[in-house]
Amino acid sequence: MLLLLLGLFILTLIFFFVLNFHQIRRGRFVFQWRSFILPFSLSLALLIVDLFLKVALHYALIIFVFVAASCYLLLHLLAKRSKPER
């Protein structure tokens, strides 16, 4: 949880500087709390999408292993059955 909050903080700062770089560079930037709304929203959305992708990847790997093992066992059983007896 602490790592997620740290990531959220760092991403918010990065988006803040990227979105306000032009004004900061020219010296016309006036700090307002609402200037953090868009960077925070983008950071939160990015973290949520990242979490969903990680979960989806793990489920996809689990399903892949299960299907591969099932196919292997099924083909192994079929190969045993179809062997001609001597």
What confidence score (pLDDT) does residue 60 get?
95
The three-point CA angle 15-42-13 to 5° equals: 30
Predicted confidence (pLDDT) per residue in 50-85, tens digit: 999 999 999 999 999 999 999 999 999 998 888 766
Predicted confidence (pLDDT) per residue in 2-52, tens digit: 888 999 999 999 999 999 899 889 998 888 888 899 999 999 999 999 999
Sequence ranges of the domains in the chain: 2-81
What confidence score (pLDDT) does residue 33 get?
86
- Rounded distance between C-alpha atoms, residue 21 and residue 27, angstroms: 10
